[in-house]
Chains A and B, each alone.
Chain A
Amino acid sequence: MNEKELVRRCQESNRNAQEEIYRIHSDRLYRLASRYVSDQAAAEDVLVTAFTKAFARIQSFEFQGDGSLAAWLRKVVVNESLMWLRKQHNFNLTETLDANLEEPDMSQLTLLEGAEIYQLINRLPTGYRTVFNLHVVEGHSHGEIAGMLQISEATSRSQLFKAKAQLKKILTREGYHYGT
């Protein structure tokens, strides 16, 4: 069954189609959620809520080719992860950075394996990790991140700068010679 047919049947509240969609996408989405919430039980909670909401709102989803459902589900899980984080963590930060500070070079990070990068990200504090995930991995601008986390753009930049600085520190300490 192709993705379009699967979506159509899922829009008719077909339980088998819903389960099929879950089987296809849940592993990837679980990894995504655990990159944000950094806890297995919390990631499962996020997934339960995200899939329940996704199946409830799938009537409003418009199929736009293969991959569109995966992208839509990804957005739902990211939003749900942020909601979970907002409940657990105070993002009401008002940090600013000195504009003259030089941006940490992350080129050394690209030499690492994906799993290693994944582990390094999970070692960051929640605020840093969230902004890093949203900006670097999801590709959101600082303006978008400010809206999503209800913080200022300056705070978002500050959090990203600190996240990169922290990553550099970890890599240097563990022998990666980051930024040389």
Chain B
Amino acid sequence: MEHDINKSIQEKIRMTEASPVAWQKERTWERIKDGMPHSRKRYGYYAAAAAVCLMAISIWYTGVRYENDLLNARIIALAGAIDALNQGPVQYPLREERADPRQCDEERPVQLQPEKNVPALTTPGKKAVLQAQALDSLPTQDITIQDQATMMVAVDDIPSENERVAPIIGVFEHPSPEVAISKKNRSKLRIRRGQERRSDDGQEHKIIIARIN
């Protein structure tokens, strides 16, 4: 008897529950949706997007670092050149007294860039003008590395003896893997005065030696 009564009540209640009712159905679904974790497929999309972003950032960062390294190398070269400026004109030795740079291990003075109209280096302002001019007009072709410690730069113009020349500034104007200096060695870079001559192609060249101590 009790069982039948319960069964009847149960059926009536369940029928009532099946009838439409007004409630915040959409809002509740939004809450459920917000609380659920995203599907694995969506995680995959996020992971792929993150990987692409990381790759782009790493490429960009590598480029920035390379630019910075080159800039630092220029600054170091410029500092060496300023020192050279302060040391006055260079007296070039006679041609027959010059040694072959490829066979010479001893340190040589930096060979200075010839400059026709170099004013007297008396004030810091003039020095700055000279440095800028030298940076713009430097011939930087034929940059090679002899070994890990020594770089040589050949320039075409040969200054006449006893002629005052401007210093070499910005020997890394044309960066290439051959002239890129590692961060470790950069702090040890010193540019020395000196000059050499070679005539592989029948022309006279000036050789500038930058030494990494």
Where the two chains meet, the residues of A that have a C-beta atom closer than 8 Å to any C-beta of B are: 12-15, 18-19, 22, 26-28, 30-32, 35, 40, 43-44, 47-48, 51-52, 55-56, 103, 106-107, 109-110, 112-115, 117-118, 121, 135-137, 139
Contact = CB atoms under 8 A, between A and B. Distances in A.
Interface stretch (B30-38, B94-102, B172-180): B30-38
B132 interface: no
Contacts of A12: 39
- Chain B binding surface SS class: helix
Interface of B: 1-2, 5-6, 8-10, 12-21, 23-25, 27-29, 31-33, 35-37, 39-41
Contacts of A109: 5, 9
B28 A110 contact: no
A139 to B, nearest CB: 7
Contact of B29 (A26, A56, A114, A115): A26
B39 A15 contact: yes
10 contacts: A13-B41, A40-B24, A48-B32, A55-B36, A56-B37, A106-B9, A112-B12, A113-B12, A115-B19, A121-B13
Given A31-B17, A106-B5, A48 B31 contact: yes
A110 B8 contact: yes
Contacts of B33: 15, 19
Contacts of A35: 13, 17
| Cβ-closest 8 pairs across A and B | A114-B16, A114-B12, A31-B17, A13-B39, A110-B8, A51-B32, A48-B31, A136-B6
Contacts of B21: 27, 30-31
A56 B2 CA distance: 39
A44 B36 contact: no
A80 B65 CA distance: 58
- Chain A binding surface SS class: helix
A37 B40 CA distance: 35
Contact of B2 (A18, A43, A52, A103): A103
A48 B27 CA distance: 10
Nearest to A132: B9
Contacts of A30: 21, 23, 25, 28
Contact of B10 (A15, A47, A139): A139
Given A55-B36, A113-B12, A114-B16, A26 B25 contact: yes
A166 B14 CA distance: 22
Contacts of A118: 13, 16
B207 to A, nearest CB: 71
A136 B10 contact: yes
A118 B18 CA distance: 12
A52 B6 contact: no
A137 B29 contact: no
A28 B17 contact: yes
A151 to B, nearest CB: 20
A14 B41 CA distance: 9
Given A19-B33, A114-B15, A115-B19, 14 more contacts: A27-B25, A28-B18, A44-B23, A44-B28, A48-B35, A56-B36, A107-B5, A113-B12, A114-B12, A115-B16, A117-B12, A118-B13, A137-B13, A139-B10
Q: Which of B9, B14, B19 lies at the interface centre, i.e. has the most chain A CB atoms within 10 A of its CB?
A: B9
Given A26-B28, A28-B18, A114-B12, A40 B36 contact: no
